[in-house]
Structure 1
């Protein structure tokens, strides 16, 4: 599992560690890891041209010490000093002694255009807001010139805690981060600026609290969550998920939600709604009822809303059930907020950015700009677990406090009609199989994203293809965990 901690927590851990180690030890550990990552990216260091973009403070110091190491290995290193009076003195001395040189921003264009690699040390984890004009001009020059870019700890101009990007920011091919991940490296839009992320251990582990701000599940974590039937299992013991979805206008939503549910680990799927004949034609194993949720038979969880149109009555009936409920799509619009907040059984809401914006009364752009804050606010406002879909899916537990999970297994090809319906069925089935709302949403998003990758293989894909690939994703998670 990858974990991320906010700036305040990281700085506190650094202070506690620095009190016990020799002065400058942490910076030297960071610089050594940073230089090694740059060398790996360059392939050959001798004769390569490296430009350091150096701001004030320790972030610039990391860049300067790493640059000194590269210079001693034969690289031609030029440091662009954005704050000459506040440049890290020790790092600058080390670079100059190693044969590096310095230039002012006004004279940096030639060096940047000839560079094989640019090391971004402009702003550290405490930076807020966009880059200042001089730094923004350098960022634009680097983007135009096109060298490989390595960010020190995180790309300059992104918010370490929230993942927000205000104005100009560096776009890196690789970010070398120290001690622990920062939330902004895992959450879009900042994540898009980070490129690949490499974590350098500087010894912070023992100083960090047990609960992070953000965590990202990996194969082993998901494998541990997935339900596995035993010798005494039958279809009812494995869990039954009810799906109340579809309408005369959107029968396909019912089919896709059922498709996801059938592959999600529960023992049986009950369908309620007007698309029963269509569902049975595709999935004859489905238990179909036309008498409404209360008369459908016993279920361990409900999925409600995909393609529901204006059927507010069914949404209200499902929300009144004393079992876990997943609310998606039209169900989010039709659900009474008071009814959601008043539920005693778990509720999992699965909006995309536009639906989240409507629920919060803000614009879609505001949600996409501050995804972490939006997920937490929705979870607090509705007292429900919230799965905010997107290029990085976020899952915030009911109430909005505590750790938020982030998932990035997906592919841009998942942005296709009906994909969210498949996810709803899949996560709802995991709820019925006994997972809590946070785990069902997290594992469902992970499998759904992985299935999208397997189905697409870099080409356009339909939602039905994603559903069909869920077993392959499930096996990949389980079998790789067994191999490891």
Structure 2
């Protein structure tokens, strides 16, 4: 599992560790890891370090010091290293002295050296920086990208907010980021994530001094494998869980089919479908248990997934209300999100999982879509707190948040967070841009609903579903366009890939 910690947590851990180390030792430790990573990248790029042309873009802080000490190490290995100071007179003195002693030089013409560089190190601002790049940094950053060099960010791309991934001005767009001690939330959440490139973590010994509960966590194969339901010899379809799906309409019958397709591949033993799309569902999936409605009359279920393609008519509104009155976990998606009331969700005693995209989240919060997309972490946390529900915010980086323990709905996750505190937000690492296709969210709804019915807590069901969904799309796509039906069809292969 990848974990990310806040700037305050990192700063506190650094202070505690530095108190136990000789002066300057922690920076040199970070620089050694940075130089090793850069040497590896140069070998991949050129087959060598000797003779490589390296340019350091250096600001006034410790981030610049890390770059300078790393540059000195590369210079001692034969690289031609030039530094472009962006805060002359305030450049880290020890780092600059080390670089010059190793044979590095201050660039006379920044644009000349950037035009021929093989690798550019972004050491302009670090995790303490706020706002976009300053105007004086923009020309050299643009020249670095325009010259075709590999751009490597030191700890965090300059211009990206470390705690949120927000970009409020212009920011460095790196090919790789070498970060120290722990991941920072802004490296894992868009728009910061897509500016960070490939991530490399350098262990500098902060681990024992960081909080045990991080700000953010990203599951990996082994973590998801531990969550997925596994039937035993005495299992039957009812013991494995039954998921109810309320989806589709005369206008959108395909939403019913796609939601059921995800549900059938999500680990529950049976799927009950309620809605106007029964004929289309049975034609595709004859194993489905179909009922015309209302949902409460369909038979016993262990969880409901409601909303995809329902429309906003009276039948849809009544169906959503009926489902939310049930004393079982409920997933609400798409049209269902427009038909629920905040008070209704907060008063539920069983878990509720809301799965909006940015536009739906904006409507629920009463803000512009652009605000949600720019501040995804703040938005998902606010939604979880306001509705007392687990929230899966779909998008280029999908986030899963849960309210603080003791909130009304959706809080039974078994997390190890402090009493009264919300557990870490989870960020999904799988997926492909090709997943942004009509109907893919319907598949995700059915899949997550099925995992709820199989017994997973809402936070785990959402996280595992997002992981499998993204992995399935990646396997189905392999660089080519995919349809939602392809994503559903590849879910068994994604499941096998995870459990190994």
Under a length normalisation based on structure 1, what TM-score does the superposition of the two structures give? 0.97
Deviations 1:144-172 (A, max 9, x none): 22210010001000000000011111111
Query: 8 Å contact 1:216–1:407 — kept in the other structure?
Result: yes
| Pairing partner for 1:371 from 373, 376, 384 | 376
The whole-number CA distance in structure 2 between the counterparts of 1:353 and 1:145 is: 35
Are the aligned partners of 1:393 and 1:407 in contact in 2 as well (CA < 8 Å)? Answer: yes
SS of residue matched to 1:52: strand
Counterpart residue number, 2:440: 419
Aligned residue among 80, 86, 101 for 1:82: 86
Correspondences of 1:405-416 after superposition (within 5 Å): 405-416=426-437
Q: Distance in 1 between matches of 2:60 and 2:293?
A: 68
CA distance in 1, matches of 2:139, 2:437: 37
In structure 1, which of residues 336, 359, 365 is the aligned counterpart of residue 341 of structure 2?
336
Tell me how far 1:408 sits from its aligned partner. Answer: 2.1
- Provide the C-alpha distance between the structure 2 equivalents of 1:341 and 1:455, rounded to a whole number of angstroms: 38
- Cα deviation for residue 356 of structure 1 reads 0.7
Task: Tell me the SS of whatever aligns to 1:134.
Answer: coil
- Aligned mates of 1:141, 1:190 — CA distance in 2: 21
On the 8 A contact 1:139/1:168 being kept in 2, the answer is no
Partner of 1:41: 41
Match in the other structure for 1:482: none
Q: Contact 2:328–2:351 (CA<8 Å) still a contact in 1? A: yes
Q: Any gaps of 5 or more consecutive residues in structure 1?
A: 480-484
Q: Distance in 1 between matches of 2:3 and 2:293?
A: 46
Contact 1:161 1:183 in 2 (8 A): yes
Query: Residue 451 of structure 1 contacts residue 473 of structure 1 at CA under 8 Å; is this kept in 2?
Result: yes
Q: Give distance in 1, aligned partners of 2:423 and 2:137.
A: 35
- Alpha-carbon distance in 2 for matches of 1:79, 1:449: 41
Equivalent in the alignment of 2:158: 156
Partner residue, 1:404: 425
Q: Deviations over 1:32-76 (max 9, x none)?
A: 111111111111111111000000121000000000001111111
How much has 1:402 moved relative to structure 2? 2.9
- Asked if the contact 1:77/1:100 (under 8 Å) is kept, the reply is yes
Runs of 4+ displaced beyond 4 Å: none
1:401 deviation in Å?
A: 2.9
Matched residue, 1:437: 458
State the distance in 2 between where 1:413 and 1:57 align.
Answer: 40
Query: What secondary structure is seen at the aligned counterpart in 2 of 1:233?
Result: coil
* Distance in 2 between residues matched to 1:315 and 1:208, nearest whole Å: 43
What aligned pairs does 1:80-119 form with structure 2 within 5 A after superposition?
80-103=84-107, 107-119=109-121
C-alpha distance in 1 between matches for 2:113 and 2:341? 60
Count of aligned pairs between the two proteins? 477
Deviation digits for residues 267-322 of structure 1 (CA, Å, limit 9, x no counterpart): 00000001111100000000011131110000000000000101111001101110
Match of 1:286 among 268, 288, 296: 288
1:227 to 209, 226, 229: 229
Quick one: distance in 2 between partners of 1:264 and 1:402? 25
Match of 1:18 in 2: 18
